[in-house]
């Protein structure tokens, strides 16, 4: 007689109590299941779009409980019990657009509570299906070496399935984790979980980030990336009274305060010309490495490094691309702020979503992303470091020249003017040397790479601003050092600040102060590409105010 295969109870030890090394990852698992349910609701016409999807998380510290609910497709009454109880049996494998793959993630919450409950209802059915897992009983059976029950028998013995009346218009799936174990206080820490969700959840970006950076940057690429961006999963996620959690990317880099001038979009393609992934990274001054904590407030920096995502759910953590496995230098990833979205259907995460399953496509993706990192991105921040040092040198020399010719102290005597002339001459030489070193970076072959070119554009504008600021501080009738022979120093136009201050008599210090605040706010949030237009608008506003 042929042997009948059995699945021992110990597999439940792995699925319920050993699958994830970090407790908070259960939120990622349930968010993924909820997102899939919302996607299926859209396909079935139950929801109009993903924008109508909502995942609600309620943490109750006093009751040591967590409730996670979605308004997705739900589970029909006739298949609910088998869906709840069956292990590694899921139709998702046939649907590449869904994030779930293995049919085992629903049980992971059991490892962190004493009672796990699932409740669900499908639209058009007036039935709610509910199953309760007695986790204490499951633990007791697994710890009993004399008990030789199989995995299915354990689940049948430790669960209660029931059905009750429900509103047939409702459609939902609800997870209840009751009596969270005291060993896992982080699961009930609302602030900690909110920060975690901001990083890993399939949510949208902040409006200012979308409107000021994503949309303009996509438009500059001829809308090539617009379909990829639009197809990215985005659902509304709320946590207690925090009703719409968003990714924490802003207009400046947390931890360094570097301004983001634009986004560099890119694709990663296979040798077969298939698109494996797309992504973006922020173009900044790359002034320094992004720290783990913001030195200004000691808060964790939630956007450091390139982040890997599938179906807009993060794979691994912020350190995924750290070390020398992807960049040649271990520190490289800490200079960047961006995301990589895998879209090829044969690139899937490992069971615990800490890495990619080793398919041929996944291995090729890893090789191609290494090539991209080391071909372009490493040159971006290394070139930025070189230019930054020379620009600081240039700015210091320019400051010496500017301060000298803006001094109201009068024409110095021959001895003093000789020293002054030498000081200016030395500063001019230093300025010229720094300019030459900067010019070399602009002329280098790597300057033609898209990201490097964009970054150099940032520093070019900074250099021009240093020149403008220096000229603006030179007196209209500059003091000419004795014997210098210079009588052609530039006669600058009044600065915007000077023009505003000139209107104090007309509008009062309070009115001028308010105008300064408005202009400063505009400058802070204006992308580099728009500064010339905004400058013209501010000039027009000042002219109108002067002529009123």
* Ranges assigned E (strand) in 343-406: none
Select from 385, 147, 195 the least CA-distant residue to 285: 385
Q: Is the pTM of this model over 0.85?
A: no
* Average pLDDT of adjacent 10-residue blocks, the chain of 548 residues: 65 73 91 96 95 97 97 96 79 54 72 96 97 93 84 89 96 97 97 97 97 93 88 96 96 96 97 96 96 94 97 94 93 97 95 92 97 96 96 90 64 58 85 92 95 95 86 51 39 60 77 76 66 74 77
Half-sphere exposure of residue 307: CA atoms within 13 angstroms, side-chain side: 24
Select from 272, 273, 269, 290 the least CA-distant residue to 281: 290
Total count of residues recorded for the chain: 548
- What DSSP string describes 256-312? T-PBP-EEEEEEEE-TTS-EEEEEEEEE----SPPPSB-TTT-PBPTT-EEEEEETT
Give residue 485's pLDDT.
40
- What DSSP string describes 105-149? GGGGGGGGEEEEEEEEE-TT--EEEEEEEEHHHHHHHHH-TT---
Helices (H), 15-127: 25-43, 80-85
Q: What are the phi and psi torsion angles at 525 (to 5°)?
A: -110, 15
Distance in angstroms (rounded) separating the CA atoms of residues 516 and 303:
31
What are the tokens at 413? 């005597």
What is the bridge-based pairing of β-strands 65-70 and 172-180?
Answer: antiparallel
Cα end-to-end span (Å), the chain: 102
């Amino acid at each position: 007689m042929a042997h009948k295969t059995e699945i021992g109870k110990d597999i439940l030890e792995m699925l319920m109590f050993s699958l994830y090394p970090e407790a908070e990852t259960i939120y990622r698992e349930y968010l993924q299941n909820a997102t899939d349910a919302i996607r299926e609701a859209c396909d079935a016409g139950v929801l109009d779009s993903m924008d109508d999807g909502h995942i609600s998380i309620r943490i109750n510290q006093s009751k040591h409980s967590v409730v996670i609910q979605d308004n997705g497709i739900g589970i029909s009454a006739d298949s609910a019990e088998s869906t709840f109880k069956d292990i590694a049996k899921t139709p998702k494998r046939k649907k590449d657009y869904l994030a779930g793959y293995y049919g085992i993630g629903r049980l992971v919450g059991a490892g962190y509570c004493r009672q796990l409950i699932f409740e669900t209802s499908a639209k058009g059915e007036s039935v709610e299906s509910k199953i309760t897992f007695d986790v204490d009983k499951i633990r007791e059976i697994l710890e009993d070496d004399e008990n030789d029950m199989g995995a299915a028998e354990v689940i049948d013995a430790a669960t209660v399935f029931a059905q009750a009346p429900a509103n047939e218009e409702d459609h939902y799936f609800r997870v209840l984790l009751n009596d969270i174990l005291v060993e896992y206080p982080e699961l009930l820490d609302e602030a900690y979980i909110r920060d975690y969700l901001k990083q890993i959840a399939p949510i949208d970006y902040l409006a200012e980030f979308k409107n000021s950076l994503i949309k303009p940057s996509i438009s500059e690429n001829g809308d090539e990336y617009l379909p990829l961006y639009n197809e990215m999963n985005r659902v509304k996620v709320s946590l207690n009274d925090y009703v719409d959690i968003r990714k924490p990317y802003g207009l400046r880099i947390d931890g360094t305060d570097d301004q983001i001038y634009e986004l560099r979009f890119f694709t990663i393609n296979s040798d077969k010309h298939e698109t494996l992934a797309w992504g973006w990274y922020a173009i900044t001054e790359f002034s320094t490495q992004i720290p783990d904590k913001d030195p200004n407030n000691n808060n964790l920096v939630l956007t450091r490094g390139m982040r890997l995502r599938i179906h807009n759910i993060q794979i691994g953590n912020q350190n995924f691309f750290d070390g020398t496995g992807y960049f040649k230098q271990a520190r490289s990833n800490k200079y960047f702020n961006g995301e990589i979205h895998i879209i090829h259907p044969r690139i899937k995460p490992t069971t615990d979503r800490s890495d990619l399953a080793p398919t041929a496509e996944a291995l090729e993706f890893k090789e191609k992303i290494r090539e991209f990192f080391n071909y372009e991105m490493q040159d971006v921040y290394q070139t930025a470091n070189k230019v930054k040092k020379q620009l600081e040198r240039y700015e210091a020399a320019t400051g010496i020249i500017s301060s000298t010719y803006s001094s109201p102290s009068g024409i110095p005597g021959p001895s003093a003017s000789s020293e002054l002339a030498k000081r200016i001459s030395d500063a001019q030489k230093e300025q010229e040397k720094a300019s030459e070193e900067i010019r070399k970076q602009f002329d280098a072959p790597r300057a033609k790479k898209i990201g490097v070119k964009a970054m150099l554009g940032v520093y070019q504008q900074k250099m021009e601003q240093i020149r403008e600021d220096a000229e603006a501080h030179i007196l209209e009738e500059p003091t000419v050092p004795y014997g210098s022979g210079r009588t052609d120093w530039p006669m600058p136009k009044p600065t915007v600040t000077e023009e505003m201050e000139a209107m104090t008599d007309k509008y009062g210090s309070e009115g001028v102060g308010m105008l300064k605040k408005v202009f400063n706010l505009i400058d802070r949030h204006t992308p580099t590409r728009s500064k010339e237009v905004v400058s013209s608008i501010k000039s027009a506003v000042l002219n109108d105010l002067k002529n009123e």
